[in-house]
């Protein structure tokens, strides 16, 4: 993960003006410390999300950056000559929930990721309503916590079945659309992600995998 220093960040956003203004001693603090810190958070989040090959629209929603600015960050930090180190995706994010439950392997990874959403503070289990609720987060915090969850998932799954955009899609299916929910396995008692409208045999993908091994 690339986190840039304050100095190179300033060089990035203000270009050649920084040394010129500094020489003349005319820096007035029009940019408040808070705003400055906020800009750095947004910039670092954009870099982190580009590294996960997030779609431009997703990065825009979290950072508020324009498409042009995201393209420039991509060009500056992820291009070596004509080659790029990560892919850029445009268009809409995938929304098919079938991808999360169509095999025991996919269902197990979706379950792990969903548990990491809880662990990283993206959502919580609402015991009163027996459902899943999203934490109220501003877009930057939401993006940062999604990166935390996805990076943890990647650290335990070096060859992941779910890309970063699918992680967002999973989050939306759980919290906004409520098409997926946490079911409980009759066999081991553990939670697993299930399609709300599918026939549920009350057996988790981990038990499925164990039994078929």
Q: Which residues would be at the binding site for Zn ion (CB under 5 A)?
A: 185, 187-188, 204, 207
For residue 77, the cross-strand partners are none
- Of the candidates 6, 51, 41, the residue with the CA atom closest to the CA atom of residue 151: 51
Question: In the complex, what is the shortest distance from the CB of residue 81 to Zn ion, in angstroms, rounded to a whole number?
Answer: 50
What is the nearest approach in angstroms of Zn ion to the Cβ of residue 99?
Answer: 21
Residue 64: enclosing H or E segment and its boundaries?
none
**Choice between 10 and 114, CB closer to Zn ion:** 114
- Least separation in angstroms between CB 156 and Zn ion: 19
CA distances from 186 to 38, 108, 172, 193, 201 (A): 47, 16, 27, 14, 9
Q: Measured from the CB atom, is 2 or 105 closer to Zn ion?
A: 105
Nearer to Zn ion, 92 or 210 (CB): 210
125 or 188: whose CB is closer to Zn ion?
188
Q: How far is the CB of 198 from Zn ion (least distance, A)?
A: 17
Q: Buried b / exposed e across 51-86, counting CB within 10 Å, b at 16+?
A: bbebbbebbbbbbebeeebbeebbeebbeeeeeeee
3-class SS at 79?
strand
In the complex, minimum distance from the CB of residue 97 to Zn ion, in angstroms, rounded to a whole number: 21
CB within 8 Å of 63: residues ≥ 6 apart: 42, 43, 45, 46, 49, 70, 139, 140, 143
Beta bridge partners of 123: 134
Angle at CA of residue 117, ends 114 and 120, nearest 5° = 150
Closer by beta carbon to Zn ion, 47 or else 104: 104
Nearer to Zn ion, 142 or 207 (CB): 207
User: Shortest approach of Zn ion to residue 213 CB, angstroms?
Assistant: 14
């Amino acid at each position: 993960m690339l986190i840039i220093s304050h100095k190179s960040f300033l060089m990035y956003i203000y270009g050649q003006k920084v040394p010129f203004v500094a020489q003349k001693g005319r820096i007035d603090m029009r940019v408040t410390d808070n705003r400055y810190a906020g800009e750095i958070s947004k910039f670092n989040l954009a870099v982190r999300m580009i590294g996960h090959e997030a779609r431009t629209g997703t990065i825009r929603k979290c950072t508020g950056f324009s498409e042009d600015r995201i393209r420039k960050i991509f060009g500056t930090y992820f291009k070596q000559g004509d080659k790029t180190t990560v892919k850029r995706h445009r268009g809409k994010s995938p929304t098919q929930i079938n991808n999360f439950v169509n095999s025991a392997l996919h269902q197990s990874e979706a379950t792990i990721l969903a548990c990491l959403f809880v662990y990283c503070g993206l959502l919580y289990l609402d015991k009163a309503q027996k459902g899943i609720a999203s934490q109220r987060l501003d877009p930057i915090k939401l993006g940062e916590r999604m990166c935390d969850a996805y990076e943890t998932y990647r650290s335990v799954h070096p060859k992941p079945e779910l890309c970063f955009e699918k992680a967002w899609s999973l989050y939306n299916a759980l919290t906004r659309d409520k098409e997926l929910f946490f079911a409980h396995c009759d066999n081991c008692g553990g939670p697993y992600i299930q399609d709300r409208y599918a026939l549920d045999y009350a057996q988790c993908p981990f038990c499925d995998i164990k039994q078929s091994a």
